[in-house]
Structure 1
Amino acid sequence: MASKASLSEVDFSCPVCCDIFKDPVVLCSLHSEKLKLFCLEDKQPICFVCQTSKKHKSHDCSPLYNAVSFQEELKTALEPLQEKMKVFREVKLSCDQTANHIMNQAQHTERLIKMEFKKFHQFLYHEERARIAELKEEEEQKSQMMKKKIEKMSREISSLSDTIRTIEEELGAEDISFLAQCTLPDPERVSGALIDVAKHLGNLQFRVWEKMQGVVHYTPVTLELNTAHPDLILSDDLTSVRYSDEKQQLPDNPERFDSHRMVLGSKGFNSGTHSWDIDVRKNKGWDLGVITESVQRKGYNGYWHRSWGVLFGGGDYNTHAPNKPLAPLIVRQNPQRIRVQLDWEGGKLSFSDPVNNTHLHTFTHTFTERVFPYIRNLFCPGLVVFRIGCI
């Protein structure tokens, strides 16, 4: 049966019984031979006569059933590669988004750095003006003092000159009583007339730095922007966090929490003692404490097995620790601030109310890895602000 461009049921029917062939055999259109081979060069089935022809003689060929089997193997191998390609494209898209986010982060951070240094520049400029004004004031005072002293000296010199001239004229006179009226005290040298340079330059840098502390604020813990859940917005100085109804479009980087609305401190601790305060006024639901560096950031399960904290929600206080159930905590007066104190080597994590000077709870645990401060938002009213303050 010869192959044609368009085949109907008649082409596949028996001329005697008119039934359609169940397993029709396709023949070569050139030589009417069965197509038994597959030309690997031209990617088409051929017959044995075609293989010896000038067109295919130098081409590699394989049995047709091997080619069909090979095609099936290729299809089978192609599916996971296509899936892999899909994953790579998704990751590339994520990388493109992250690269754009990095650029935006850098531009925003640069603006904030310039703003902070502008404050320093303004402070130093005004301080410089004040110091120079003080110097000019002293210069004016002492210049005026010396001017008056010079004028007085000029008058006394003039008077003394007149006296000397009179004496010279009366050298031959017998009456010398006038000499008693010519006594003048010796001129006094002016002390403290020079500029007090030490007052203006002595420890100038230290005194300016000491004064600068009024405009420089230090907090023992700042928040790590790249760990914050997309529902949380951090302040520019990274010391407070609030909930947002609109989820931010942020990279899903490995450090970021995607289920719990929480954020970590920027610095972890694996030694020493550390303390920080968190303002929780007007917040209806919060969870504060420390969490291990190895905590699973994606999903809900990892957090509970890697954190120690005090939790407030629904008007009740509880404590939680790895592999332990929530434990009720009796708090007689709602705190405005929570102080967290960590003694890593001593294995103690304490919570207290610094305003009312009240101890709340202390965990004891042998810490074996770096832990980070964390803030977790439990409920989401219009505005929930947690601010980390100085102690």
Structure 2
Amino acid sequence: MASSLEENLECPVCREIFKDPVSLSCGHSVCKDCLKRCWKEKEKLCPVCRRRNSKDHFTNFALKKLCEAFIKERGEQQQDEKFEEALKPFKRKLQHFEQVKEKFEQTAKHVRVQAQRTETQIKEQFKKLHQFLEDEEEARMAALRLEERQKSRGIKEKIEALSREMQALSETIKATEEQMRAEEASSLLNYKAAVERIQDHPLPEDPKLASGALIDEAKHLGNLAFNIWHKMKDMVSYTPLTLDPNTANQSLSLSGDLTSVIEGEVKKLPDNPERFISSGKFVQSSEGFDSGTHSWDVQVGDGVGWRLGVFAESARSDIWKGSWVLAWIGGTYSARSGSSTDLDLKKKPQKIRVTLDWDRGKVSFSDPDTNTLIHTFTHKFTEKMFPFFNTWCNKHPLKILPVKVCVTVEQSS
């Protein structure tokens, strides 16, 4: 519609909107300046139909007002378009911010879920510890009460035996005194006989408190906290690594104690910078190492496909540019660091031990059940290395195995 109107308002000579339009006797209209140029060079012919004009031309005020209104409207429209064009980056930025805000809100919701889940697990762990301490306290109090009853019964028996001895002595004394009063006190013979009867009656030994009659406080209180803590190690486990759920690909599921991973349903998780999303079904350890020797055992079982290894911190965006990996893919074992090398294993291991010797620049993989070395990489490490795990099996998880906890008491020098 606007295009058709614009065509009707165009000067047939300059092909622009009329400026001071004039109308000729033939009925055609042109710009005043365009008409002057045409008539200056040629006869007074209409530039459109080439007819001679017998009358003077006149200004077409109606057409002029219409053109001015059209030019004004078009100018305003162009201004609006420029304004809209200028606002486009801001609108795009606002739209992007709205998307980011939505992600942030989802992240805040996820943080609340994480906090609730973590709080529940912490409470469960402390509940177990509290129950252990309560049971331990009850057992130790029961042992104390049992010893108290035993020691009290022993002392009571001693007291009862002593009472019987005292009664017997009292009766002997009383009988002798009565006999002496009944006989002739002046009779020396009777006196001697009475003395002999007393001397013939043996005196009981002095009662003594037996050794161990008291409560063995040292047994109950000595190193009490240490002994409880030492006993507590049997109910806890320690794994050398902990999986970081904030790095897990959305298709992986981690156990509650963060020691095993398996492929599961795709979950809606925050797109945080640490998370492996497009790079693969990876999850890394929360711990990284930049010195020393570190080792961890992983139960791989009969999983259909997995990768284990370490990667350099700088290779997070493209893990294959800085990683040292042992893989089980399509029935073939391979070692990969840049290029891939197939391995010929005589026995399918159920566990894999990964050992990182950062200082010597070695990463080795072995079978801990047979103590068989599988493969060793050598490289000069210059940055922090992170263990990582990759699986696409939904039946057999990769599980970091606990290590034996030992308590050693050393004499201070």
Per the TM superposition, whether the score is higher than 0.5 is yes
Using a 3 Å threshold, how does the CA distance of structure 1 residues 26 and 349 change in structure 2: closer, same or farther?
A: farther
2:351 to 326, 337, 340: 337
2:388 to 370, 374, 391: 374
**Could you tell me which amino acid in structure 1 is paired with residue 384 of structure 2?**
R
| Matches of 1:112 and 1:26, distance apart in 2 | 85
What residue in structure 1 maps to residue 173 of structure 2?
164
- Give the Å deviation of 1:314: 1.1
Using a 3 Å threshold, how does the CA distance of structure 1 residues 341 and 16 change in structure 2: closer, same or farther?
A: farther
What residue in structure 2 maps to residue 305 of structure 1?
321
2:271 to 252, 263, 280: 252
Q: Is the 8 A contact 1:26 1:34 kept in 2?
A: no
Using a 3 Å threshold, how does the CA distance of structure 1 residues 266 and 165 change in structure 2: closer, same or farther?
A: same
Q: Is the 8 A contact 2:300 2:350 kept in 1?
A: yes
What residue in structure 2 maps to residue 292 of structure 1?
312
The Cα offsets for residues 131-174 of structure 1, whole Å up to 9 and x where unpaired, read as 00111111111111111111001111111111222333345433
**Could you tell me which amino acid in structure 2 is paired with residue 326 of structure 1?**
S
The Cα offsets for residues 215-271 of structure 1, whole Å up to 9 and x where unpaired, read as 110000010000000110000000001111x21111111111113001000111111
**Could you tell me which amino acid in structure 2 is paired with residue 361 of structure 1?**
H
**Could you tell me which amino acid in structure 1 is paired with residue 327 of structure 2?**
L
Helix, strand or coil: the match of 1:125?
Answer: helix
Identity among equivalent pairs (%): 44
In the alignment, structure 2 segments of 5+ residues that lack a partner are 11-22, 32-59, 404-413
What residue in structure 1 maps to residue 147 of structure 2?
138
- Give the Å deviation of 1:383: 1.6
Using a 3 Å threshold, how does the CA distance of structure 1 residues 21 and 316 change in structure 2: closer, same or farther?
A: farther
Using a 3 Å threshold, how does the CA distance of structure 1 residues 159 and 363 change in structure 2: closer, same or farther?
A: same
Using a 3 Å threshold, how does the CA distance of structure 1 residues 17 and 360 change in structure 2: closer, same or farther?
A: farther
Helix, strand or coil: the match of 2:235?
Answer: coil
Q: Is the 8 A contact 2:301 2:396 kept in 1?
A: no
The Cα offsets for residues 107-126 of structure 1, whole Å up to 9 and x where unpaired, read as 01000000000000111111
CA RMSD of aligned residues (A): 3.1
1:178 to 184, 188, 197: 197
1:99 to 101, 108, 111: 108
Q: Is the 8 A contact 1:279 1:388 kept in 2?
A: yes
What residue in structure 1 maps to residue 331 of structure 2?
315
2:231 to 211, 215, 218: 211
| Matches of 1:387 and 1:239, distance apart in 2 | 6
Helix, strand or coil: the match of 2:289?
Answer: coil
Say whether 1:388 aligns with 2:400: yes
Higher helix share: 2
The Cα offsets for residues 158-199 of structure 1, whole Å up to 9 and x where unpaired, read as 111112223333454331332212422222222211100010
Give the TM-score normalised by the residue count of structure 1: 0.81
What residue in structure 2 maps to residue 54 of structure 1?
none
- Give the Å deviation of 1:25: 9.6
| Matches of 1:187 and 1:225, distance apart in 2 | 72
**Could you tell me which amino acid in structure 1 is paired with residue 401 of structure 2?**
G
**Could you tell me which amino acid in structure 2 is paired with residue 162 of structure 1?**
E
**Could you tell me which amino acid in structure 2 is paired with residue 146 of structure 1?**
I
Using a 3 Å threshold, how does the CA distance of structure 1 residues 18 and 106 change in structure 2: closer, same or farther?
A: farther
Using a 3 Å threshold, how does the CA distance of structure 1 residues 82 and 389 change in structure 2: closer, same or farther?
A: same
| Matches of 1:267 and 1:15, distance apart in 2 | 92
Helix, strand or coil: the match of 1:331?
Answer: coil
| Matches of 1:192 and 1:8, distance apart in 2 | 121
Say whether 1:202 aligns with 2:248: no
Helix, strand or coil: the match of 1:207?
Answer: helix
- Give the Å deviation of 1:21: 9.8
- Give the Å deviation of 1:8: 9.2
> How many residues are matched?
347
**Could you tell me which amino acid in structure 1 is paired with residue 321 of structure 2?**
H
2:132 to 123, 126, 134: 123
What residue in structure 1 maps to residue 243 of structure 2?
223
Q: Is the 8 A contact 1:163 1:182 kept in 2?
A: no
Q: Is the 8 A contact 1:295 1:303 kept in 2?
A: yes
In the alignment, structure 1 segments of 5+ residues that lack a partner are 1-6, 38-44, 47-63
1:75 to 84, 88, 92: 84
Q: Is the 8 A contact 1:27 1:35 kept in 2?
A: no
